[in-house]
């Protein structure tokens, strides 16, 4: 079968759906394909997101896809020091805990209502190129071959990020920029349902353990470990099982869902556009390297991409030059923060458990509401001279 659209979006996650929606709203003919038989399933996510972040991309919070409201985040150091941050200061990943099964479908539904068409169980197998320009994709839909010609191919295929690599942008990652994750949905546990918890230290090398509430006795309990810190196959699950076995709040509970996945924690890519294609979301490697959160960042790229594509349709120009606006817009929003957090991640990797305790102490001394880079560095110099060496390059 052969089809023709202005825009074909590969992957129906939040980034793909926002691209599809905004492009369709602007008048583009859009096809969004999803390789799974169900959008939003299986889950690949800890589901934390800030209300502020949702607002930024014009999404109104809806009870149907929110499974818990939280009042803030707690960061727990290896020695048990706790830094409590209320919702407004916690950044992009706290505020509400989503029900991604429903949320992703709601985002896709908005795209459909704007006029985008959706094909499930349809996976891209290659891109079509003519004279160096991407002109469409080859796919398989319910097992049958499918060719889609398009002005622009949107690579929204998530962490796997294969379509971009076929198109000609190298999105491959270094081992130090990949976090491998495992998560249980646990029930009958005794966590604090008001707070998203991040537990850092050597029990999750280069990453952290998270407890994101999904209700009074239910939470997503997961772990991310940096690939470069892993030695044996299957070690990530072992790390999490060990943590749960030692935690009094968790060891009484039982899992009702187990999921796994990869997360990029890299510096921004040099380029996210080319002739006839662009990258959004996890595929564009825009996940926050510190938190590993990617929902809001992904939707920001999707929103910009869709709006720019709608303009490209008017002039029927999907060249790299025409897509440059997209590159500029998403970088204005995210690039500096992604670089800064990637550098901070590289720094944190080197800190032993004891230093992490001191860092949490320092943050508490400064007072979270007064944390600015300046205040933090001043406190380090005044009260923890032992830390000065660690943060020299930032001073």
Partner 1 sequence: MIVNVEKCMHCGACVGSCPQNAIYLNDVVLEFTDDCNCCGRCVRACPVGALKLEVKK
Binding site for partner 1 (CB under 8 A): 35-37, 42, 44, 121, 123, 125, 140, 158-162, 165-166, 172-173, 175, 178, 180-182, 227, 230-237, 258-262, 264
Q: How far is the CB of 230 from partner 1 (least distance, A)?
A: 5
Q: How far is the CB of 265 from partner 1 (least distance, A)?
A: 12
Strands 273-274 and 254-264: unpaired
DSSP letter (8 states) at residue 202? T
Q: How far is the CB of 200 from partner 1 (least distance, A)?
A: 19
User: Encoding tokens for residue 55?
Assistant: 């607002």
Choice between 11 and 201, CB closer to partner 1: 11
Residue 9 to residue 130: CA distance in whole angstroms = 19
Strands (E) located in the chain: 2-10, 30-33, 48-49, 66-69, 72-76, 82-86, 96-98, 117-119, 122-130, 133-141, 144-155, 178-187, 195-200, 208-215, 218-226, 254-264, 273-274, 277-279
Choice between 71 and 123, CB closer to partner 1: 123
Choice between 98 and 283, CB closer to partner 1: 283
Residue 212 to residue 215: CA distance in whole angstroms = 9
Choice between 116 and 163, CB closer to partner 1: 163
User: Encoding tokens for residue 222?
Assistant: 């997961």
Q: How far is the CB of 240 from partner 1 (least distance, A)?
A: 9
Q: How far is the CB of 284 from partner 1 (least distance, A)?
A: 13
Q: How far is the CB of 166 from partner 1 (least distance, A)?
A: 8
Choice between 86 and 235, CB closer to partner 1: 235
DSSP letter (8 states) at residue 11? -
Cβ–Cβ under 8 Å, residues 115 and 108: no
Residue 86 to residue 97: CA distance in whole angstroms = 15
Choice between 22 and 44, CB closer to partner 1: 44
Q: What is the largest CA-CA distance in the chain?
A: 69
């Amino acid at each position: 079968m052969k089809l023709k659209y202005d825009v074909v979006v590969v992957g129906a996650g939040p980034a793909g759906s926002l691209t599809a929606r905004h492009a369709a709203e602007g008048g583009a003919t859009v096809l969004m394909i999803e390789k799974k038989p169900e959008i939003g399933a299986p889950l690949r996510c800890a589901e934390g997101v800030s209300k502020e972040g949702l607002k930024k991309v014009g999404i109104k919070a809806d009870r149907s896809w929110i499974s818990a409201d939280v009042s803030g985040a707690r960061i727990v150091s290896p020695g048990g020091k706790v830094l409590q941050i209320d919702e407004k200061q916690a950044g992009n990943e706290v505020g509400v805990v989503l029900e991604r099964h429903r949320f992703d479908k709601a985002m896709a539904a908005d795209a459909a209502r704007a006029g985008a068409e959706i094909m499930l169980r349809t996976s891209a197998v290659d891109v079509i190129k003519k004279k160096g320009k991407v002109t469409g994709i080859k796919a398989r839909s319910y097992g049958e071959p499918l060719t889609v010609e398009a002005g622009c191919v949107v690579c929204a295929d998530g962490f796997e990020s294969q379509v971009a690599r076929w198109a000609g942008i190298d999105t491959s990652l270094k081992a130090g920029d990949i976090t491998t994750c495992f998560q249980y949905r646990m029930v009958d546990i005794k966590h604090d349902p008001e707070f998203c918890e991040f537990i850092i230290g050597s029990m999750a090398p280069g990453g952290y353990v998270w407890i994101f509430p999904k209700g009074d006795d239910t939470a997503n309990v997961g772990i991310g470990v940096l690939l470069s810190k892993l030695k044996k196959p299957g070690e990530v699950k072992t790390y999490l099982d060990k943590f749960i076995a030692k935690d009094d709040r968790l060891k009484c509970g039982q899992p009702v869902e187990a999921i796994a996945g990869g997360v990029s924690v890299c510096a921004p890519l040099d380029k996210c556009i080319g002739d006839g294609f662009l990258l959004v979301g996890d595929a564009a490697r825009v996940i926050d390297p510190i938190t590993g959160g990617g929902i809001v960042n992904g939707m920001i790229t999707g929103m910009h991409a869709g709006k720019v594509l709608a303009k490209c349709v008017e002039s029927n120009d999907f060249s790299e030059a025409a897509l440059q606006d997209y590159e500029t817009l998403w970088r204005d929003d995210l690039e500096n923060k992604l670089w800064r957090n990637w550098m901070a991640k590289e720094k944190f990797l080197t800190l032993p458990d004891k230093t992490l305790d001191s860092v949490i102490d320092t943050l508490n001394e400064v007072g979270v509401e007064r944390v600015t880079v300046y205040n933090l560095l001043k406190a380090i110099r005044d009260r923890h001279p032992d830390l000065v060496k660690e943060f020299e390059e930032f001073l």
